[in-house]
Each structure stands twice: as C-alpha cells, then as structure tokens.
Amino acid sequence: MKDQLEYLKRQVQMNRMSRRAFLGRVSALGVGAAMANTMLATSLRAQTPQKGGTIRVGIQGGASSDSLDPALATNATATSVLRLWGEPLLELDPQGGLEAKVAESYEASDDAKIWRFKIRDGITFSNGKDVTAEDVLATMERHSGEDTKSGALGIMRGIKSMSVEGNTFIVELDQPNADLPYLMTDYHLIIQPNGGKDDPTAAIGTGPYVLQTVDMGVRFVATKRDDYWGDLGHADTIEFTVINDDTARMAALQSGQVDMVNRVPPRTANLVGRAPNIDIRTTSGPGHYVFIMHCNTAPFDNYDLRMALKYAINREEMVEKILFGYGSVGNDTPINSSYPLYTPLEQRSYDPDKAKHHYKKSGHEGSILLRTSDNSFPGAPDAAALFQQSASAAGINIDIKREPNDGYWSEVWNAKPFCTSYWGGRPTQDAMFSTAYLSTADWNDTRFFNDRFDELLFKARAELDEQKRKEMYAEMSMLVHDKGGLILPMFNDFVDGVSDRVAGWEDAKVGFELNNFYAPMKMWVAA
C-alpha cells in the first residue's frame, strides 16, 4: 500500500489529480480522514515554490566546441545555458502566446511596418549596468550585420532600419509583418551590454542567474542573482552536467545524481518511467528529426538523386522503430499541424520503384556517405542504419560514418553535405522558414536557394488576408518538399525525465524540450 500512496501523492504534486479524487482514492485504501488530509496537505505544500537548494540537470547536446556567444548557440546545452543568464525582448509563454521580458510592451503601426518596443524600466544586467534601448539596438545590429554568423540572421532579413527614441527600440520593416514580435523570441537574440560587441562571450545579461563555472562540453554552475527583476528562478544554484551518452544520462537520473534530463530515449522511456521516483513528461509539437542534403553540393545538387533518396526512406518504419510511439510521420517539410496556418500535403511514402527510377535518371554511381552521431538526435545511428537498409532495396548504397559527439555541431552539421540533424521547430511558419530555408539565412543547412520561395516568404509577411497567407505557406512547404534537400521522416515528441526531488513542472505546448529549456528555473527543490 505504501507504493500506492506514494504514487497518489506524486499525482497531486504533478497536478494530475484533484483534491477530491485524492481523498477518495486514499480512503478506498483504508486510510482515515485525518491521515488522508495530512497527506494531502503535505502533497499540496510540494506545489508551493520553495526557495533555495540546488537543481541538477543532466543535459544531452553539448560539446567542447560550444560558445557562450548567443549568436553561435546550436544545441540544447548552449541554449539552456543562455536561458540562465540572458533574455530576449519577448518570450513564448507555455500556451504559445507572448510574455514580456526585456521589453515590457510593444505596439505596431496600423500597417504593421513599424514596431515600437518599450524597454522595461529599472532592469539591469548582471554587472549592475542599466539596460537601455541602445543596448537593444546594438544587439540587433550585431545579429544582422553582413559578417555575422548568427543563427538569427534569417529572421533579421527584411528590416529596413532600426533606431532608438528614449527608452523605446523602433524597427521599421521593408514590408508589413504581423509576426515580428514572435521573431524577437529567438533564443539567439539575448540582449547584452552594447549588444555583445565588446565581448559576446561574457555571459552578462538580464537573466536570473550568473555563471560561476564554465567547462564547455562538461559542466556549468550558476547561482541566483539577488537583483533579478523578475520572479523566475527558485533554486539558489543550478548545475548542468553534459551527459551525451543516453545510457549514462538515464543512469544518472535513476540513481539520483541529477534531478531532470532531456531526451529520454523513446526505446527505454517506459522502462525509465516505471521507477517510483521518476516521471516521464512528453510534449508533441513542431520538433523534427531529419536527414539533410546540401542542394548545391555534388552529388546532392542533382534533383533526381535527392528525389531517389526521399522515396528510399521508410518513414512509418522509422517512427515505429526509432520513436516507439513518441512522435508522428513526417513529409519532407518542417511544417506540421502544430502550426496555425498548416495545410497538409499528399503524404510521400516509401517507394523503392520510384527511388530506382530517379536514381537511374540521376546517373549517379557508387556509394553515398551519410554522417551521423548520437548527438544529432536520439537514435540517429539506428535511424541511419534503417535508411541504409530501405535504400538498398532500391539499389542505392549508403555508407554510414559515425562521427564523434563532441564537435558534431561545429564540424559536421551545416558543414558536411549529408548528415543527420534535428530542429526544435519555431512558433510560426515565418520564423521556421526564415531561419532555415530563406536563401540568405546563415542556418540554411540544406543550401536551399529558391527565388520563388524567397518571394513568397516576404509576400506572406505582408499579407493580412489569412487564407491567402495560408495558401502561400502551403506553396512554400511544397517547394521544400519537392525541390529541397530536406528528408524529414518524423516529428518527434519531446521526452523528458524528472525526479520527484523537484516539483513545479509546467507543460509547454511550444518551444523545446524541458519546458522550452525553462524547467530548471521554473521548478524547485521539493525534497
């Protein structure tokens, strides 16, 4: 009975059971009313944020080549660390709306071409310096300069001018864009003193924590700021330990070495969740696991070869054997039903005969090298092996090279012409397309250069008729689906593991894993 009572207490703590249901269930187990109410009170206290203590996170996705420069953040670890010390102008709330961060309010002109962001009064950086609109302007300038390597470069395109008026940051666009505030939530756009132009890796921002220990690819320790403007952050200390190996990361959670982990392998999620002190949290959304081809690099500059590979992958098998039910079938476009203006396309299916046809037409001979790593997405090497097998039935020989986890995001992704990767998705179609498929985007990792696509992207921003805009996005998805170098077999659920030592989990419908990487700051030590 003890295990059953502990289970019921956890259901209350995780907001999965009402007061009435709890009392009814424990009464059925023979527990008296007085004891039941005492147990309920104890469980409810665990829902009240507690201050102090240390929250320990086992994180997958870090490497020694990572940087503290927000412009260069490419993986889960880098983004999680950014969340600790820095903030953008605005952020997504758990339901997909917007919440104020460095900007306390914003407004647009009637035609949505001019946007004004009022900077929050009294907010300071962790070095004690007041945050000004000039700091915001300098930040945006650094991420939009011609020489920048910022992952936000794509979404900064289309800005005609930026200026400051008192404590207000002003953006004038080439064309109207009702989605601009959502673009400002991009995690690269962390507001820094003088925009980070003096030292982009100084980790000085407006966030609730200050980094004390930085060991790239290994460990990060941050302590709570006394002068933080907001109410985020309950623990005195947050520790991130990079554990890229899936088995080691799950062992650390199960043994109590860490309090939460990201990317619980779907293969073992049910087993891990059977432990009485661990809860598995899943979130469906726009995240996707992919195989990316550079459209401008031989042999992938050949349309028929790309089509051969797209028909040579068995998406249903991959969802079944890699995701184990924690996801859905993809269709070679990054847009799924989680986006409000989504239009379904005819599903592309595994077809060895069509793959053979296009492969023969391509004239290609010999093997094709596919690079992969556990660091690209959970189960990526196994997914690559499945791809190899399904392609062989079409007479296509894929050689797999397993790359080291460390350095994958700097040496392989966006550098080599054919590799495994993942995207967490973005809050709007415009943000996703602008970041990864606009010709001039620095993160155009398939080297997709299509004039019609670029034209539609900018037209859609200016289109106020929602139906017309939806039609434009549908055509853009079709262009990526048919002309691009994206092979997207599956949309993944985010699968996280959380110990009962911490409480306060809040399901988020948008963003990335671990509650859009805010879980360490929104949760608290409960035991």
Which run of H or E residues covers position 387?
Answer: helix 380-392
Q: What's the CA gap between 524 and 527, in Å, rounded?
A: 9
Q: Taking Cα atoms as reference points, which of 37, 384, 410 lies closest to residue 216?
A: 410
pLDDT at 510: 84
pLDDT at 343: 96
Higher-pLDDT residue of 510 and 337 is 337
pLDDT at 33: 60
**pLDDT tens string 52-91:** 999 999 999 999 999 999 999 999 999 999 999 999 999 9
Q: Where do we find the tokens 């147990």?
A: 39
362: pLDDT confidence band, cut at 50, 70 and 90? very high
pLDDT at 36: 55
Predicted confidence (pLDDT) at residue 207 exceeds the cutoff of 80: yes
Q: Are 180 and 115 in contact (CB under 8 A)?
A: yes
Q: Are 341 and 429 in contact (CB under 8 A)?
A: yes
- The proportion of the chain whose per-residue pLDDT surpasses 90, expressed as a percent, equals 84
Q: Work out the number of other CB atoms within 10 angstroms of the CB of residue 352.
A: 18
**pLDDT tens string 480-516:** 999 999 999 999 999 999 999 999 999 888 889 999 9
Q: What's the CA gap between 527 and 520, in Å, rounded?
A: 15
Predicted confidence (pLDDT) at residue 355 exceeds the cutoff of 70: yes
Mean pLDDT of the chain: 92
Ordered by where they begin, the domains of the chain are: 2-45 (no CATH), 54-62+207-280+494-525 (3.40.190.10), 87-196 (3.90.76.10), 288-492 (3.10.105.10)
pTM of the model: 0.84
pLDDT at 26: 56
Give the range among 32-36, 64-68, 211-215 with minimum mean pLDDT: 32-36
45: pLDDT confidence band, cut at 50, 70 and 90? low
